[in-house]
Structure 1
Amino acid sequence: MRLHRNLCFAVIDGLTQIFNEDQYADRVIQQLLKRDKRWGSRDRAFVAETTYDIVRWKRLYAEIAEVKAPFDRDNLWRLFAVWATLKGIKLPDWKYFVDTPTRKIKGRFDELSKIRKFREAIPDWIDAVGLEELGEATWTKEIAMQNEQADVILRVNTLKTTKEKLQNILFDQNIETEFIKGYPYALKLKERANVFVTDAFKNGLFEVQDASSQLVADFLDVKPGMKVVDTCAGAGGKTLHIAALMQNKGQVIAMDIYESKLKKLKIRAKRNGVHNFDLRVIDSTKPIKKLHGKADRVLIDAPCSGLGVLRRNPDAKWKLEPEFLDKIRNTQQEVLQQYSKMVKSGGKLVYATCSVLPSENQKQVDKFLTSESGKEFTFVKDKKVLAHESGFDGFYMALLEKKQ
């Protein structure tokens, strides 16, 4: 591979924004990809994947390069040189790469790869938490899988097409997909492609949604004609799936504390042909109280650490703080206590997170069930999805039923 100056500069600029200006990697990369209209798909893939790679392995590369945050541009070029050397890419004779000690880099890599926190490039505190909650064997496998690049998974919109038809439509556009056993709505791309420019996407035939995330709506056991509340809807990936399972019959109420996210959901719903939904901003306790005892189904896709989806958001491990974890556990219990009141007698509730930590998952459910509000519910079943076992995102979901 030959390195091109303009692409490498884009990567360095992106890393500056992510590491030094605390911007989100996915947004920075979206902006970078619009930088030069002459770039082809390979150029854009190089910028995106290289930036994500260096973000993912920041701790390991910084240790090898012997640089510390905040990184100036020279230090960022050193991180880049480590990345290129370990990828076996010949460094050009640019001033940034003068005196790069390639043999020393490889030696340091071999040495540091024996220590998990460096090998998997994670902060000490996250390593300690994972070890404590999951045990050495499970945590070692799980955090290794969280550093693998995630597959692109599509969820077919059953309101408009079938999985087989969608597969054929995409095949005609040179996008090959395969079915995944046990995931009835999922198609996995055989090779990465920009699916958002396809007519199939513009016409609402699918959404991009990880296979683990697709399990949640099914777990909720919805039926056409029900009143269903998605309490932390965000931009609505699961809301749209729920609406499709309900065949556009009944009512899905999508709630969130951020109005901007619900506006995105409105646009997505129109594209998906979903019309059995209402949007409600949680700006006080009123929207919740109005629904007390009225919902057949309630989904609480709770805010969490996101330690099950680091493959997609590698910068999250550098942004997370131990204090946030304590705070989010309190928030999780609060939303369980408040939002569970919307479930009617005989109705069902799903509590879900994209975390692999028991303290955010089954322990939250156990705590809720022994509380005053939780005594009205019985535990039906739960599902723990670990990335190293499933090959997809780490997830948790628990199904509870309100007593008659």
Structure 2
Amino acid sequence: MRLHRNLVFAVIDALHMIFNEGEYADKVIEKVLRYDKRWGARDRGFIAETTYDIVRWKRLYSEIAEVHEPYSKPHLFRLFGVWCVLRGIRIPDWKQLEGTPERRIKGRFDELSKIRKFRESIPDWMDELGEKSLGSELWTKEIAAQNQQAEVILRTNTLKIPKPQLKAFLTKEDIATEFIDGYPEALKLVERKNVFVTEAFKDGLFEVQDASSQLVAPFLEVEPGQRVIDACAGAGGKTLHLASQMQNKGQLIALDIYESKLKKLKKRARRNGVHNVETRAIDSTKVIKKLHNSADRVLLDAPCSGLGVIKRNPDSKWKLEPEFVDRIMGVQQDILQNYSKMVKKGGQMVYATCSILPQENSDQVKNFLDSENGKDFEFVRERNVFASETGFDGFYMALLKKKS
């Protein structure tokens, strides 16, 4: 591979914004890719994938390069030099990369790879928490799986098109996809491409949604004509999936504390041809109270640590703090206690997270069922989804039924 100076400098700029200025990686990539309109798909791919790679392996590379935050520009080039050596890319004759110690880099890599927290490039606290929560064997497998690049998975919008027809449609647009066993609406991209510029996307024929995330809506067992509430809807990925499962029939209420996210949901719903969704911002406790004992189905896709989706958000390893994990568990239990009141007798509720920690998942469900509000519910089933077993995101979901 021949390195081009303007592309490498764009990567260095991106790393500075992510590491030193605390910006989110996905937003930084969007910004940097606008630097030069002449860049083609391969150039853009190099910038995005190289940046994400160095973000993913930040701790390991920093230990090898012997640099620490805040990173100066020479330090960032040293990280880039480590990336080149470990990928077998010839170091160009640039002054910024002069004296890159190739043999020493390989030696340090071999040495540090024997220690999990360096090999998997994670903070000490996260490694300790993962091992304590999941046990050494599962945590070792799981964090290794979370360091693999995430696949691009599409969810067919069955309101508009059957999956085989979507596959054929995308093939005509030079997007090769394949089916995934056990995921009835999913298509996996054979090669990473920008699917958002396709006519199929503009026509609302699919959404980008990880395969594990596609398991949540079916777990709720919705039916056309029901009143369904997505209580932590966000920008609506699972809301739209619920709408397609309801065949656009019945009432689907999308709630969130952020009005801005619900605005995005409305826009996506229009593109998807979804017309049974109503959005309501949770701006006071009255919003929930008005819905008490009214819903056939309630989805609680609760805020969480996101430890199941690190492969998708590698910078979260450096932004997440142990105090946040403790705090979010309080929020999760509050959501279970308060939002469960919207389920009517005989109705069902799913509690879901994109975390792999039992204390955010099965422990929360048990604590809820042992509480006064939880006595009205019975446990039906749960599912732990691990990246090390599926290759997709880590997820948890529990189905509870309100006693008649």
Equivalent residues in 2 for 1:38-117, closer than 5 Å: 38-117=38-117
Displacement of 1:252 in angstroms is: 0.7
CA distance in structure 2 between the partners assigned to 1:12 and 1:339 by the alignment: 45
Q: Which residue of 1 aligns with 2:28?
A: 28
Letter in 2 for 1:79: L
Cα deviations by residue, 1:343-374 (Å, 9 ceiling, x for unpaired): 00000000000000000000000000000000
Equivalent residues in 2 for 1:200-219, closer than 5 Å: 200-219=200-219
Q: Which residue of 2 aligns with 1:221?
A: 221
TM-score (normalised: structure 2): 0.99
Equivalent residues in 2 for 1:147-158, closer than 5 Å: 147-158=147-158
Q: Which residue of 2 aligns with 1:236?
A: 236
Q: Which residue of 1 aligns with 2:341?
A: 341
Displacement of 1:274 in angstroms is: 0.3
Identity %: 70
CA distance in structure 1 between the partners assigned to 2:101 and 2:391 by the alignment: 36
CA distance in structure 1 between the partners assigned to 2:27 and 2:243 by the alignment: 28
TM-score (normalised: structure 1): 0.99
Letter in 2 for 1:395: F
CA distance in structure 2 between the partners assigned to 1:35 and 1:276 by the alignment: 41
Displacement of 1:231 in angstroms is: 0.7
Q: Which residue of 2 aligns with 1:374?
A: 374
Q: Which residue of 2 aligns with 1:323?
A: 323
Give SS of 1:60's match: helix
CA distance in structure 1 between the partners assigned to 2:34 and 2:163 by the alignment: 32
CA distance in structure 1 between the partners assigned to 2:70 and 2:372 by the alignment: 48
Displacement of 1:70 in angstroms is: 1.1
The answer to whether 1:146 aligns with 2:146 is: yes
CA distance in structure 2 between the partners assigned to 1:9 and 1:175 by the alignment: 30
CA distance in structure 2 between the partners assigned to 1:278 and 1:208 by the alignment: 22
Cα deviations by residue, 1:81-135 (Å, 9 ceiling, x for unpaired): 1001111111111111111111000000000000000000000000000000111
Give SS of 1:306's match: coil
CA distance in structure 2 between the partners assigned to 1:327 and 1:309 by the alignment: 19
Unaligned 5+ segments in structure 2 are none
Displacement of 1:72 in angstroms is: 1.1
Give SS of 1:200's match: helix
Question: Could you tell which deviates more after superposition, 364-373 or 24-33?
Answer: 24-33
CA distance in structure 1 between the partners assigned to 2:41 and 2:389 by the alignment: 32
Unaligned 5+ segments in structure 1 are none
Q: Which residue of 1 aligns with 2:264?
A: 264
Cα deviations by residue, 1:19-40 (Å, 9 ceiling, x for unpaired): 1111100111111112211000
Give SS of 2:150's match: coil
Letter in 2 for 1:227: R
Letter in 2 for 1:206: F
Displacement of 1:276 in angstroms is: 0.2
CA distance in structure 2 between the partners assigned to 1:68 and 1:24 by the alignment: 19
Displacement of 1:298 in angstroms is: 0.4
Give SS of 2:212's match: helix
Displacement of 1:243 in angstroms is: 0.4
CA distance in structure 2 between the partners assigned to 1:32 and 1:258 by the alignment: 27
Letter in 1 for 2:18: I
Letter in 2 for 1:403: K
CA distance in structure 2 between the partners assigned to 1:393 and 1:93 by the alignment: 40
Letter in 2 for 1:121: S
Letter in 1 for 2:286: K
Equivalent residues in 2 for 1:10-29, closer than 5 Å: 10-29=10-29
CA distance in structure 2 between the partners assigned to 1:372 and 1:30 by the alignment: 47
CA distance in structure 2 between the partners assigned to 1:133 and 1:386 by the alignment: 14
CA distance in structure 2 between the partners assigned to 1:70 and 1:306 by the alignment: 25
CA distance in structure 2 between the partners assigned to 1:327 and 1:152 by the alignment: 31
Give SS of 1:13's match: helix
RMSD: 0.5
Displacement of 1:141 in angstroms is: 0.4
Cα deviations by residue, 1:292-343 (Å, 9 ceiling, x for unpaired): 0001000000000000000000000100111001000000000000100000
Letter in 1 for 2:321: E
Q: Which runs of 4+ in 1 moved over 6 A?
A: none
CA distance in structure 2 between the partners assigned to 1:292 and 1:73 by the alignment: 56
Displacement of 1:175 in angstroms is: 1.2
Give SS of 1:267's match: helix
Q: Which residue of 1 aligns with 2:182?
A: 182
CA distance in structure 1 between the partners assigned to 2:327 and 2:260 by the alignment: 23
CA distance in structure 2 between the partners assigned to 1:301 and 1:110 by the alignment: 41
Name the count of aligned residue pairs: 404
Give SS of 2:312's match: coil
CA distance in structure 2 between the partners assigned to 1:343 and 1:243 by the alignment: 18
Give SS of 2:89's match: coil
CA distance in structure 2 between the partners assigned to 1:362 and 1:132 by the alignment: 15
Letter in 2 for 1:184: P
CA distance in structure 2 between the partners assigned to 1:318 and 1:354 by the alignment: 18
Q: Which residue of 2 aligns with 1:283?
A: 283
Displacement of 1:391 in angstroms is: 0.9
Letter in 2 for 1:236: G
Displacement of 1:76 in angstroms is: 0.6
The answer to whether 1:362 aligns with 2:362 is: yes
